[in-house]
Amino acid sequence: MLQESPLSPTFSPLYRQIKRLILQGLESGEWRPGELIPSENELAARFNVSQGTVRKAIDEMAAENLLLRRQGKGTYVASHNDDDPHVSFRFLRLVPENGKLEPSQSVPLECWRAKAGLEVSRTLGIKPGAPITIVRRLLKFGAKPVVVEEIYLPGETFDGLSLEILQEYQGSFYGLLESRFGVRMIRAEERLRAMAADRASAALLGVAEGAPLLSVERVSYTYGDRPVEWRRGLYSTADYYYMNELN
Amino acid sequence: MLQESPLSPTFSPLYRQIKRLILQGLESGEWRPGELIPSENELAARFNVSQGTVRKAIDEMAAENLLLRRQGKGTYVASHNDDDPHVSFRFLRLVPENGKLEPSQSVPLECWRAKAGLEVSRTLGIKPGAPITIVRRLLKFGAKPVVVEEIYLPGETFDGLSLEILQEYQGSFYGLLESRFGVRMIRAEERLRAMAADRASAALLGVAEGAPLLSVERVSYTYGDRPVEWRRGLYSTADYYYMNELN
DNA sequence: GAGTGGTCTAGACCACTCC
DNA sequence: GAGTGGTCTAGACCACTCA
């Protein structure tokens, strides 16, 4: 493996360069979510570095949930589908107030096309007026509606998404985006606020108009820190709360 | 370093045993927050393992914000005091709506002693009726009050805490607990809900009674996963929002 | 220049999976 | 038994800090 001079201003250690190369394999689709990537020895041979250097690159990527190691089997590309089916909502932080874990269910309400306004275009990094797809859905725990959300997606990337597809698909939303459109979400930022329920949301969630709701705005990113989803959810936090771990 | 048989049911790799040993050094106070711990070579010699094994143990602890490595200088015990003074609120996730970062200021309002009720005793792992200390304070950004919170602390651990001390101390609350009482917070869990402002909080925050507020309950843990703080804050999220990163 | 952490290598052996 | 990731070692050299 050739390495730039350590004196170069753009210097980065070998294992980070290897990490970049593996990342390119993920971005280019050479290895797709759920698939096995070559063994550490193979990658070491391919990149002309030692196995330990490949290992360190993969270590970091596994810590970032990009790869998944399984002893004796190999290293897999992380996927929203192969996850534990119970925890298939990897980014959802809702926890029941009374420990009772009711089965969750996503209820798609609407799905339509529109043109990006200024705010959406900025957050998604597309042109104002570019086509977008909007999904409106409800999240239920047992029979209880707990979240109502609107999801904004760049139309080109997710061309063909429809209410039917959403209704048919078994599994998580991100699982669908991944297997059907080849876009994997790897990271997200959420902005939380408290706000009063508007009439429509109140009706859907079964709370009084003006009741305090938790507003959760999320921007999700795929490889290369490219934002590909903006959503805004209103959470009814009477029976479920938003759990967060700080380190 | 002696190592149990790999066949033992309680087997853990060498570097984790080393990690345990270093952790014990932190818990026992052998190395205190902000201090330098022995070099990797010294620790390797002391524990009779190779330097690489010590390195892997420290790697994990640095990733968990227990230790802080500085090339050329050494490895330090992480501290809430040595942190970047701007970011001295390590667990505070509030971000201004309009990018303008106003200087934050903690205003202690009250500090009194009480006996633990059932809920507090459970969360703090102390006996019901055991002495606790309660702090009430306000968090301001610039002139704007944004958070009002009540903090419940086990009285024995933080014996002597008073309003005066709180008012005198320059620096973060956790910095105070650390330098004055030798208790370092390493991790916390937060439970978020939306709720309506009661009259007292509304007055303190300068919002209308019944206005939606973000309720943030936090349990903080010190070494050994021992809970030593329970607090409940009400956040006014008109000009600031709660930011969270998901991975 | 001495001492620290940071990177890279090479090789040995272990634990797990699958055939 | 062959192949995978997981651990451990030993040694070399680099980058940074401080005296």
Question: CB contact, 8 Å: A158 with chain B?
Answer: no
Question: CB contact, 8 Å: A52 with chain B?
Answer: no
Domain ranges of chain B: 14-77, 85-242
Contact B193 A213 (CB under 8 A): no
The letter for the amino acid at A164 is E
Give the one of A95, A212, A242 whose C-beta lies nearest to B212's C-beta: A212
Contact B194 A195 (CB under 8 A): yes
Asked if strand C comes closer than 7 Å to B39 Cβ, the answer is: yes
Question: Of chain A residues 79-118, which have a CB less than 8 A from chain B?
Answer: 91, 93, 95
Give contacts of B192 with chain A, Cβ < 8 Å.
192, 214, 237, 241-244
Question: CB contact, 8 Å: B169 with chain A?
Answer: no
Contact A187 B65 (CB under 8 A): no
B131-172 tens-digit pLDDT? 999 999 999 999 999 999 999 999 999 999 999 999 999 899
* pLDDT band at residue B102 using 50, 70 and 90 as cut-offs: confident
CATH architecture of the domain with residue range A14-77: Orthogonal Bundle (1.10)
Question: In this predicted structure, what is the pLDDT of residue A189?
Answer: 98
Question: CB contact, 8 Å: B119 with chain A?
Answer: no
β-strands B74-77, B36-37 pairing: antiparallel
Phi, psi of B10 (to 5 degrees): -95, 15
Question: CB contact, 8 Å: A246 with chain B?
Answer: yes
Residues 6 or more apart whose CB falls under 8 angstroms from that of A63 comprise B63
Asked if strand D comes closer than 7 Å to B14 Cβ, the answer is: yes
Asked if strand D comes closer than 7 Å to B59 Cβ, the answer is: no
Interatomic CA–C1' length for residue B177 and nucleotide D7, angstroms:
39
| 3-class secondary structure per residue, A29-43 | CCCCCCCEECCHHHH
Question: In this predicted structure, what is the pLDDT of residue B9?
Answer: 58
Q: Sheet with A94-96: list strands edge to edge.
A: A94-96, A240-246, B187-196, B212-222, B226-235, B144-154, B131-141, B104-115
Give contacts of A247 with chain B, Cβ < 8 Å.
64-65, 186-187
pLDDT of residue A129 exceeding 70, the answer is yes
Share of chain B above pLDDT 70, in %: 94
The letter for the amino acid at B217 is E
Question: CB contact, 8 Å: A193 with chain B?
Answer: yes
A143-187 tens-digit pLDDT? 999 999 999 999 999 999 999 999 999 899 999 999 999 999 999
Q: In terms of Cα–Cα distance, which of B50, B52, B57, B55 is closest to B23?
A: B57
Q: Sheet with A187-196: list strands edge to edge.
A: A104-115, A131-141, A144-154, A226-235, A212-222, A187-196, B240-246, B94-96
Among B71-85, B142-156, B198-212, the range scoring the smallest mean pLDDT is: B71-85
* pLDDT band at residue B82 using 50, 70 and 90 as cut-offs: confident
Q: What is the mean pLDDT of residues A198-218?
A: 97
Q: In terms of Cα–Cα distance, which of A229, A210, A208, A245 is closest to A149?
A: A229
Q: Is the pTM of this model over 0.95?
A: no
The letter for the amino acid at B74 is G
Cα separations in angstroms, B109 against A74, B10, B37, B132, B163? 57, 49, 38, 17, 8
* pLDDT band at residue A9 using 50, 70 and 90 as cut-offs: low
For the domain spanning B85-242, the CATH number is: 3.40.1410.10
**Helix orientation angle between B40-47 and B14-28, rounded to the nearest 10 degrees:** 110
**Regarding predicted confidence, which is higher, B1 or B217?**
B217
| A43-72 residues near strand C (Cβ < 7 Å) | 49-53, 56, 70-72
Question: In this predicted structure, what is the pLDDT of residue A3?
Answer: 53
* pLDDT band at residue B10 using 50, 70 and 90 as cut-offs: low
Q: In terms of Cα–Cα distance, which of A83, A130, A133, A86 is closest to A108?
A: A133
Helix or strand or coil: residue A244?
strand
Question: In this predicted structure, what is the pLDDT of residue A101?
Answer: 78
* Mean pLDDT score across all residues of chain B: 93
Q: What is the mean pLDDT of residues B28-56?
A: 97
Interatomic CA–C1' length for residue B183 and nucleotide D16, angstroms:
32
